[in-house]
Amino acid sequence: MGPVGVWEMIFIFVLALLILGPRKLPELGRQIGKGLSEFRRASHELRSTFEREMNTLERENESLRDVGRSVSAAINPASDYTYDDYSYSSSNDSTTSDSAPQAAEAQPAATTAEAPAGDGAVPNEAQSEVKA
């Protein structure tokens, strides 16, 4: 449903004129005008009150940030200390460790099916080949 066109406005005016009569129509127009102006005034007042309160909240928030910064600076006065440039990471960026051989890391961990049976001398796969 779009905006009211010229013909629709003429139709509404004629209908109002027939229903209310020529004496009450100007009075109704004045009441509608007063109502619209009161609505505009109230909406403007509400908007200005909202903006004023938002500005107040922003100022309070900024003052709380300033207090937080000053307290933080008072608690940590050594925060201006410059640290040395020593790198604590190892020079070897690979994922392998120096203590374990690389071949051991490449092999998957033994599962329960591959665990040695008996005294642990012969793996399960070797035992199945021997039995066959």
Instruction: Give the range with max mean pLDDT: 65-69, 99-103, 108-112.
Output: 65-69
**Mean per-residue pLDDT over the chain, rounded:** 76
User: How many alpha carbons fall within 13 Å on the CB side of residue 122?
Assistant: 9
The stretch 87-107 carries a mean pLDDT of 56
Query: Angle at CA 72, nearest 5°, toward 70 and 77?
Result: 95
pLDDT on residue 29: 87
Q: Which of 14-23, 42-51, 92-101 has the lowest mean pLDDT?
A: 92-101
pLDDT on residue 3: 84
Please provide the DSSP assignment of 37-100 as one string. Answer: HHHHHHHHHHHHHHHHHHHHHHHHHHHHHHHHHHHHHHH-GGGGPPPP----S-S--SSS-SSS
Only one residue has tokens 């928030």, namely 61
Distances (CA, A) of 86 to 67, 78, 82, 83, 98: 35, 19, 12, 8, 21
pLDDT on residue 78: 59
**What whole-number distance in Å separates Cα of residue 51 and Cα of residue 80?**
40
Percentage of the chain beyond pLDDT 70 is 57
User: How many alpha carbons fall within 13 Å on the CB side of residue 77?
Assistant: 1
pLDDT on residue 118: 52
